[in-house]
Structure 1
Amino acid sequence: MSKLEQVLILEPSGELKFKGPFTEVVTSNLKLNNPTDKRVCFKVKTTAPRRYCVRPNSGVVEPSSSINVSVMLQPFDYDPQEKNKHKFMVQSMFAPEGGIDNETMVNMVSDKMWKDADQTQLMDSKLKCVFELPPEALQNDLDAAKEAKEVAAVPPVKPNIPKPSPEAKRPVTQDDGLRQRKATPSDNQTFTTEFAPVAQRSAIPPVLYLLAALILGFILGKFIL
């Protein structure tokens, strides 16, 4: 059996648009029009119930009247590169016949009522969600995404370590050790250089001996005379 055609007229009919930025709650309004002469029960469903708040999410549309439904998108981190797959469905059916007041009718529109309903009498309309950003905000997001990709694409900088020279790679031999010892001053040479002023005093003692001999000869000469 073919499915019944939706009697409610939805405005908008195919898309629910949400305009960002999405740093706070964004609301999109859905209007349900009932052009018939009968009461119509409705229920709003979504593929992402944790992301939206719908008021009212169910109820009754009186004959030749309409009702406004507020669909509120909760704040989230928007990624323009991520494809949005959220959808909504408005399910409806004619209300039971009889003299039932509005309050009682609303109470009847419960989950149990929809489960017990004849599935062949249900009608539905589907809408997809569209996220929109102001041009400047969209450009900023695209620039940020592009910059992040460029940073990720830059290869890590390798440290510039100089290559060892051929001399450094050649193993040290015994001849090298001998040449190194010859080039380095010995301990004796170092001490000799440091104590060089001491060697100049060795030329003074002969003069003192001569003066002492003259004085001694002079004294002895006086005693002899």
Structure 2
Amino acid sequence: MPDTAIRLADVTVRFAQKRLAFDCAIPAGAVVAVAGPSGAGKSTLFNVIAGFETPAAGSVTLLGQDMAGHDPAERPVSIVFQDNNLFAHLSIADNVGLGIDPALRLDSAARQSVFAALSRVGLGGYERRLPGSLSGGERQRVALARALVRRRPILLLDEPFAALDPAMRADMASLLLELHAETKSTLLFISHQPEDIGRLAERVLFLDAGAIVVDETVQGFLARREPPAVAKFLGQSTL
């Protein structure tokens, strides 16, 4: 596997009244927090990597391969959205099985992979339940299990802790660290909480006004008091 998992070179995304520019290189196997104020471009950054947003200029390289012309399904990326994207009428097992085959044509080996993934995230025995019967944290774990069965080397998590209380956030962070140690995947997660960043990340990308303005180790980031957007962000909590 290449040493660099994600390389964005002079990437530009244009909207009607806004221009975003991204340039970074993320090592394979890294755990990276993506932070910044609302509207800074965090979700757009994820959409560019995953292929849901096509840049107006620049290149996106994943695992050494230029992604120009590659649809989201063709990229080595799984993404877990903040709202989980679970289908209310499908069982938990079927929701996870969609990660293997969107038509749910699953053989016995695939079904066993689904059961194993649910067990790994602490939801063994929940296979027949519906999403509406689960807590927010449990639904997040179902979405994570679906990402696991896809076996993609890059995992993007869009605010995975947003619906969780502090104790559940700590549990989810521990689970993510365990899974990362097992899979050796490259993990990026969006967070608005310095505590979660300090608990999970080894590196931080901080975005402001549509650009990456800080790219450094988590220790260096948490010690910062400038620029002002970073100082305001870190002022949310005392570590």
TM-score interval (norm. to shorter): under 0.3
Bigger radius of gyration: 1
Q: What TM-score comes out, normalization by structure 1 length?
A: 0.22
Q: What TM-score comes out, normalization by structure 2 length?
A: 0.21
Higher relative contact order (CA 8 A, sep 6+): 2
